[in-house]
Amino acid sequence: MSRALRYGVPWRGLLIHGASIVFILWIVLPFGWVVLTSLMTEVESLSVPPHWIPDYVTLDNYIAFVDPTILGSQRLAGGGAAQGAPRAMLNSTIVALSVAVLNMIIGSLAGYAFARLNFRGSATLLLVYLATRMVPALAIMVSLYLMFQTFGLLDTLLALILSYLTFTVPYSVWIMASYFRTIPRDLEDAARVDRCNWINMMLRVFLPVASPGLVACAMFAFMSSWGEFLYALLFTSTLNSRTMPILIAGFVTDVTVSPTLMNAGGVLAVLPPLVLALIFQRLIVSGITAGAVKG
């Protein structure tokens, strides 16, 4: 009622509906074009002017990532590059999952200290984490490269995992600290009477209650690792450690790769984070806004 009163102006509704449609199209159209192209045959994707709706829908471009022979004569046109896809997908998954798990551990340990213990220097330490988040990867890439070279870690997944900790850990500490603060202290008090030791108390009582925070922490770590490009470009050189972003970048910069294959690769690369984002929509939205407010 108050809304109807508040906004009695007739053209206002039109403006809002119009704008909402423009925004929806602004998001959907570019990606829709990628999806549509990925379902075309190569010949159709190259037609001028472009076909918006494919005359002939095919899944060959996706199947090519598992079985490169499917594209037949197209095999030369990037089929070879697609061969690395299952391995790249596996590498990306291993790296992103490892980073997520490490962040849950490191983040909840440090987060607990900030949420529950009074210690001198805590405010300063929290600021140090915040400052760490703002260090641009560009500033440390050369030193990290030389360091990994010294330890023989170039072209290994470990190099990627370690380098991704640089930008995920500070954020995870912040997420966990602010989430743990919302959990009532009674739980731990009750557990202490039962003479549980600290680790037992964490594993059996505290962390299960804090699981939404842990999931948020893992999600952000997973997603930012999944799509990372600069470190992956510098530290990987063969299929041993190449991740999806590097495979996709190879498609984008190689003009001989068929556009249909390239777009199918783009869809495959965006699928895991997109599915996660939609499943955990609420958690992400609150995480983004909390992260922004808290730094």
Partner 1 sequence: MAAAETLAGARSVRGARFELSERAFAYLLNLPAILTILLLVAYPIVDAFWLSLHRYNLRRPEAYAFVGLQNYVDVFTSDQFVPSLGVTLFFTFWSTIGVLVLALGMALVANEHIPQRAILRALILLPWAMSGVVTALMWKWIFNPNSGALNGLLYSLGLISNYRSWLMSPDTSYLAIVTANVWNTLPFSALVLLAGLQAIPSELYDAAKVDRASLWARFRHVTLPWLSQPILIVLIVQALGGIRIFDIIYLLTGGGPGYQTTTLGFAAYVTSFISTDIGRGNAWSYTVALLTLVIAIFYMKLLYGRGDVRS
Return d(Cα 205, Cα 187) in angstroms, integer: 7
Whole-number Cα distances in Å, 133 to 97, 123, 130:
20, 16, 5
Residues numbered 52-111 forming contacts with partner 1, rule: CB under 8 A = 52, 105-107, 109-110
Applying CB under 8 A, what is the total number of residues that bind partner 1?
111
Residues numbered 216-275 forming contacts with partner 1, rule: CB under 8 A = 223, 226-230, 233-234, 245, 248-249, 251-253, 259, 262-263, 265-266, 269-270, 273-274
Residues numbered 146-205 forming contacts with partner 1, rule: CB under 8 A = 146-147, 162-163, 165-166, 169-170, 173, 189, 192-193, 195
Return d(Cα 281, Cα 287) in angstroms, integer: 10
Q: How far is the CB of 123 from partner 1 (least distance, A)?
A: 4
Q: Does 3 bind partner 1 (CB under 8 A)?
A: yes
Cis peptide before 49 (omega within 30 of 0): yes
Q: Does 14 bind partner 1 (CB under 8 A)?
A: no
Q: Is 12 exposed, middle or buried (0-12, 13-18, 19+ CB in 10 A)?
A: exposed
Figure out which of the listed residues 63, 97, 141, 215 binds partner 1, where binding follows CB under 8 A. 141
Q: Which is nearer to partner 1, 20 or 69 (CB)?
A: 20
Q: Does 137 bind partner 1 (CB under 8 A)?
A: yes
Q: Does 279 bind partner 1 (CB under 8 A)?
A: no
Q: How far is the CB of 162 from partner 1 (least distance, A)?
A: 6
What element of type H or E holds 172?
helix 157-180
Rg (CA), the chain: 24
| Contact status, residue 91 vs residue 243, Cβ threshold 8 Å | yes
Q: Which two tokens stand for residue 190?
A: 């009750």
**Interacting span for partner 1 (CB under 8 A) from 9-17, 64-72, 83-91, 150-158:** 9-17
